[in-house]
């Protein structure tokens, strides 16, 4: 309400705040009332000093010599992430991945609501997924307009991702999470985030293979 808003928060920090929020929710459910940076950091898989620096972006919110109050910190982070109000999302492409996303409870509990599931395959339309009925792609503009959905999730095959993106943007969507393996072009003012599952696996495999090579070289190089 007033102006104790921190000017800006690094994107990397925002991503971790979301993780802390999840851990804090678990702690709160377990009845814990306070945590130290060390404990919270270890549960989140990060370095304690880094965690404290992350939290410093919200202004002081711990008690020196003691730690952080779970309930307070949780509320504080949720407020900064904008998690208090619910946000309407549409999801396009209800294949295996789309169904997984529609069903995933983690979204609902964080204030994201899928107000529309869309697919162009007649066979998919009408199916009930995560309590919602899949609608034909033709309805997408109407739903986006009616619900003022500002977030769109694309889980279609790569070939149709760009046209789907264009339609979403034209209908008023301002943020897009893309699971299709193509780089999407969108006008300025529209955020696009890319999640590429096979890239993750490829990086992992590379690191694994790297682990071997240096060991082998150690003998030959010295």
Contact partner, 142, from a copy of itself, DNA, none, Cβ < 5-8 Å per class: none
Judge contact between 77 and 21, C-beta under 8 A. yes
Q: Which stretch binds a copy of itself (CB under 8 A): 31-39, 68-76, 116-124, 150-158?
A: 150-158
Pairing of strands 68-69, 34-35: antiparallel
User: H helices of the chain, where?
Assistant: 11-29, 37-44, 48-56, 70-80, 96-103, 105-108, 140-147, 158-171, 197-221
DSSP annotation of 59: -
Contacting a copy of itself (CB under 8 A), which of 122, 208, 218, 222?
208
Positive or negative torsion for Cα 128, 133, 138, 144:
negative
- Residues forming the site for DNA (CB under 7 A): 10-13, 35-38, 46-50, 52-53, 55-56, 60-68
Query: Please, which residue, 55 or 168, has the CB nearer to DNA?
Result: 55
Nearer to DNA, 104 or 206 (CB): 206
Whichever of 146 and 183 has its CB closer to DNA, that residue is 183
Q: Which helix (H) or strand (E) holds 130?
A: none
Using CB under 8 A as the binding rule, whether residue 200 contacts a copy of itself is answered as yes
Q: Is the separation of the CB atoms in 180 and 156 below 8 Å?
A: yes
* Least distance in angstroms from the C-beta of 69 to DNA: 10
Q: Which does 53 bind (CB under 5 to 8 A by kind): DNA, a copy of itself, none?
A: DNA
Interaction between residue 161 and a copy of itself (CB under 8 A): no
Cα(20)–Cα(6) distance, rounded to whole angstroms? Answer: 18
Q: By CB under 8 A, what part of segment 65-124 binds a copy of itself? A: 81-83, 87, 89, 95-97, 99-101, 103-104, 106-107, 110, 112
C-beta of residue 24 within 8 angstroms of C-beta of residue 70: yes
**CA 62, CA 35: separation in Å to the nearest integer?**
9
**Site residues (vs a copy of itself, CB under 8 A):** 5, 8-9, 11, 14-15, 18-19, 22, 43-45, 81-83, 87, 89, 95-97, 99-101, 103-104, 106-107, 110, 112, 150-151, 153, 174-177, 181, 183-184, 189, 191, 193-211, 213
């Amino acid at each position: 309400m007033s102006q104790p808003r921190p000017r800006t928060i690094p994107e990397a920090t925002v991503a971790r705040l979301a993780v802390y929020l999840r851990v804090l929710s678990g702690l709160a459910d377990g009845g814990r009332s306070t945590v130290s940076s060390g404990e919270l950091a270890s549960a989140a898989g990060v370095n304690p000093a880094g965690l404290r620096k992350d939290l410093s972006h919200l202004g002081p919110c711990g008690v020196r010599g003691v730690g952080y109050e779970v309930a307070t910190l949780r509320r504080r982070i949720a407020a900064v992430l904008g998690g208090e109000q619910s946000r309407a999302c549409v999801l396009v492409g209800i294949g295996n991945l789309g169904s997984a996303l529609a069903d995933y409870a983690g979204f609902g509990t964080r204030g994201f609501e899928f107000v529309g599931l869309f697919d162009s395959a007649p066979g998919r339309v009408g199916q009930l997924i995560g309590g919602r009925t899949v609608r034909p792609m033709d309805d997408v503009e109407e739903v986006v307009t009616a619900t003022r959905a500002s977030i769109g999730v694309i889980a279609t095959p790569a070939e149709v991702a760009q046209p789907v993106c264009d339609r979403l943007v034209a209908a008023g969507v301002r943020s897009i999470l893309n699971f299709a393996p193509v780089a999407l072009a969108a006008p300025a003012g529209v955020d696009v985030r890319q999640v590429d599952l096979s890239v993750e696996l490829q990086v992992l495999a590379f690191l694994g293979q790297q682990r071997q090579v240096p060991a082998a070289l150690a003998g030959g190089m010295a």
